[in-house]
Amino acid sequence: MSIERPKSTHWADITADKIIRERGPKDHYTCASGITPSGTVHIGNFREIISVELVARALAQKGEKVRFIYSWDEYDVFRKVPKNMPRQELLETYLRKPITLVPDVLGNESSYARKNERDLEVLLPLVGIEPEYIYQAERYRSSRYASGIRTALENRDVIRRELDAHRTSPLADDWWPASVFCTACDRDTTKVTGWDGEWGLSYECECGNRETVDLRHTHAVKLPWRIDWPMRWKEEGVDFEPAGKDHHSEGGSFDTAKLTGKEVYGHEPPVTFQYDFIRIKGGAGKISSSSGEVVSLGDVLEVYQPEVVRYLFAGTRPNSEFAISFDLDVLKVYEDYDKCERTYFTKPETEKAMKNWEKQARIYELSQVREVPGAMPYQIQIRHLCNLLQINSGDIEAVMEYLGDISEDQVAKFRNRAECAWFWVKNYAPEDFRFSLRDPATPLPAMGENERNAVQALGKLIEDTMGTMPEKEWSNLVYDLMVEKGIESADFFTLVYKALIGKEKGPRLISFLHTIGKEKAAALLK
Ligand SMILES: [Zn+2]
């Protein structure tokens, strides 16, 4: 009798079902995400992107066609010069202009916005995310949204009522649902002065410029965020878009966008959920991000393999806060992922076991960057890998040679894990986790005659017998030797660690000696 896999209870699958149910049958479903690239896109922002990708993937696996769009809102105004940026005075001259006009003072991209966009665009495919990017500056400047803007102007009073419902003081009488970047000075230091009821919008700017622009031929007019959002839902036919806590608060931009979308643009609000914040644990003052205190996807990928990054997000419900660790918990995260992988490749035999299996299996499937492997991948315990790397001073080739059982198709993933592990050891691992082998050409550290004798006897024992019997059995010989030399085990271990790594403590001694290997270990204790 074969046991059937139960229906998935994973949040991505549940959301996908909800989208199909609420939006009805469609040729394709549009899933959206987006951000203003006014600074480095941090790992908290990434949570939105990957949440959408997981839902889009779940929809596709149900046989639906999916369009996954990512909107770069780079026609937003440059409000504040980030503190960590160089050339502050130069950047200040760009305040109130669209971000897309701000120069890239860190590199050679066409703008500051483009730099932030590119930094993320090159990393996303590494974690299996390839959305269709929509560049809002280009959209606005080519007047693509002319009718959307006109619709807002026509519904000025409706929108005003919707926004006022959540404001402590009502919008001014001369408020218009549009903002203008002055065509003379590029700033939004403007005031709309009138609308001709069709395509003509008049404004005046603090710089003295006044003119009437035609919505169909101007790059100057933009909708304020709360109106821009529902206008674009309609434009792209958005079926699903999650949002952070800030937008999902009572009377927040999601609430008003829902209303405006429905009443002004005739678009049913997309299915949504709220995602929570990400905390960072460990790595204080060491995160090397070019953006200072902000942790980017790039920083996380230096420590975690792409599938482990996906696992962190796929394994947590979007509405619960969690921490991305750079401290010793990194090891635990890798161990959890490996365990999940072993579970996936161990088929359950009872219905009850199947239920538990399904949860882990679905998380594992969604954690894969692309296809799910057909057979159990090569596994190496992360702690063991860190030790091997330290014994070999970070030489990954030497570690692979030592292990000797990594097949051609397993090399790429192994190398990636080893690079992450070594980066973590060097940059974030706690001091007492780190070690390097003593140079065997230097003399043993100073110690008493009897102690030196005992250490050297261990060297001899290693040379003669280590590796010829199971570790546990061999450890008995080491204990016998300590008794024979009359040294307490705690004292003896300290001496041996000093001789091996110049520290008083280290990884569990017997297996550590085996990991170092007979030749090297014996040489260090002679
Ligand atoms: Zn101006």
Whether residue 395 is found in the same domain as residue 458: no
CA of 77 to the centre of ligand 1 (A): 14
Range 191-212 average pLDDT: 98
Q: Give the Å distance between the CA of 104 and the centre of ligand 1.
A: 23
Q: Reply yes or no on whether the pLDDT at 240 is more than 70.
A: yes
Same domain, 245 and 135: yes
In a domain, 21, yes or no: yes
Do 479 and 419 belong to one domain?
no
Q: Would 32 be classed as within a structural domain?
A: yes
pLDDT at 472 over 60: yes
The Å distance, Cα 184 to ligand 1 centre, comes to: 5
Do 63 and 125 belong to one domain? yes
| 293: confidence class by pLDDT, cuts 50, 70, 90 | low
pLDDT at 286: 58
How many separate domains does the chain show? Answer: 4
CA distance 478 to 525: 14
Structural domain contains residue 251: yes
Q: Quote the ligand 1 centre to 155 CA distance (angstroms).
A: 27
Instruction: Indicate if the pLDDT at residue 2 is higher than 80.
Output: no
Average pLDDT, rounded, for the chain: 94
User: What was the pLDDT predicted at 174?
Assistant: 96
Report CA(173)–ligand 1 centroid distance (Å). Answer: 23
- Note the helical H segments in 392-508: 396-403, 411-427, 449-465, 471-485, 489-501
Q: Are residues 400 and 418 in the same domain?
A: yes
Q: Write down the pLDDT at residue 38.
A: 87
Q: Tell me, yes or no, whether 336 lies in a domain.
A: no
| Host domain of residue 123 | 11-139+225-275
The SS3 assignment for 21 reads helix
Helix (H, G, I), strand (E, B) or coil at 322: strand
Please tell me whether residues 123 and 254 are part of one structural domain.
yes
C-alpha 362 to ligand 1 mean position (Å): 55
Q: Tell me the average pLDDT across 301-318.
A: 97
Q: Last residue of a domain, which of 253, 275, 297? A: 275
207 alpha carbon – ligand 1 mean position (Å): 4
> Which whole number is the average pLDDT over 260-271?
97
Per the model's pLDDT, the better-predicted residue between 281 and 291 turns out to be: 281
Regarding whether 487 and 416 lie in a shared domain, the answer is: no
> Is residue 1 very low, low, confident or very high in pLDDT (cuts 50, 70, 90)?
low
Residues 117 and 16 in one domain: yes
Taking a 5 Å cut-off on Cβ, the residues next to ion ligand 1 are 182, 184-185, 205, 207, 209
Centre of ligand 1 from the C-alpha of residue 190, in Å:
7
DSSP string spanning 195-256?
A: E-SSSEEEEEETTS-EEEEETTT-S-EE--HHHHHHHHHHHHTEEE--EETTTSSTTSHHHH
What band does 289 get if pLDDT is binned at 50, 70 and 90? very low
- CATH number (domain holding residue 514): 1.10.10.350
Same-domain pairing of 512 and 427: no
Question: What pLDDT shows up at residue 251?
Answer: 84
Residues 209 and 96 in one domain: no
- Which CATH number goes with the domain that contains 49? 3.40.50.620
Residue 393 in any domain: the answer is yes
Please indicate, yes or no, if residue 514 is contained in any of the structural domains. Answer: yes
Q: Report, as an integer, the average pLDDT of 357-365.
A: 97
pLDDT in tens, 480-516: 999 999 999 999 999 999 999 999 999 999 999 999 9
Helix/strand/coil for 71: strand
- Specify the DSSP class assigned to residue 31: E
Ligand 1 centroid from CA 209, angstroms? 5
Within a domain: residue 376? Answer: no
Is 469 a member of any domain?
yes
Q: Which two tokens stand for residue 508?
A: 């569990």
Question: Which has more pLDDT, 27 or 251?
Answer: 27
Query: What is the pLDDT, as a whole number, of residue 224?
Result: 96
Whether 88 and 208 map to the same domain: the answer is no
pTM of the model: 0.94
- pLDDT recorded at residue 247: 87
In this prediction, residue 290 carries a pLDDT of 45
pLDDT digits over 377-387, tens only? 999 999 999 99
- CATH number for the domain harbouring residue 202: 2.30.30
Q: What would the pLDDT profile of 64-118 be if each residue is shown by its tens digit?
A: 999 999 999 999 999 999 887 889 999 999 999 999 999 999 889 999 999 999 9
By percentage, how much of the chain surpasses pLDDT 90? Answer: 90
Q: 230 with 267, same domain?
A: yes
Q: Does 375 score more than 80 pLDDT?
A: yes
